[in-house]
Amino acid sequence: METENQGQLNCNTKDIITRMPRLDTVIMVEKFIKEHSGDFKKTELFNNLPKKTMWGTFNVILSYLVENNKIGIDKADHVIYVWNPRLAEKFMNKKRY
């Protein structure tokens, strides 16, 4: 499946419902992306993961990470880790009026 130019992932997760990932797999993929941010495109990332996973499961994980603003896709289709926990904590602790 291809990515769009706006940094969004184009995956139809409804077609791959049988490929729901385990938490340890999600954490493994997220950690790998964080350590190699911008180094790989989607397929390259899949092929270089430390543990094998099914393509459908991988797509569900990427969709989850995109929807939760943890990763983005640049114009060259590289997967980039964008989550900033310090900034998120700052907003969480900010007083609301």
Domain that holds residue 58: 13-93
The total domain count for the chain is: 1
Residue 8 lies in a domain: no
pTM above 0.85, yes or no: no
Whether residue 42 lies inside any domain: the answer is yes
CATH of the domain at 44: 1.10.10.10
Q: Is residue 66 part of a domain?
A: yes
pLDDT band at 12 (very low <50, low <70, confident <90, very high): low
pLDDT of residue 55: 93
User: What is the pLDDT at residue 5?
Assistant: 45
Domain assignment present for 22? yes
Q: Is residue 6 part of a domain?
A: no
The pair of three-digit structure tokens given for residue 78, joined into one six-digit string = 């590289």
Question: Which pLDDT belongs to residue 31?
Answer: 97
Q: Which residues contact 65 (CB under 8 A, 6 or more apart)?
A: 29, 30, 33, 71
Q: Which range, of 33-37, 51-55, 74-78, 92-96, averages the lowest pLDDT?
A: 92-96
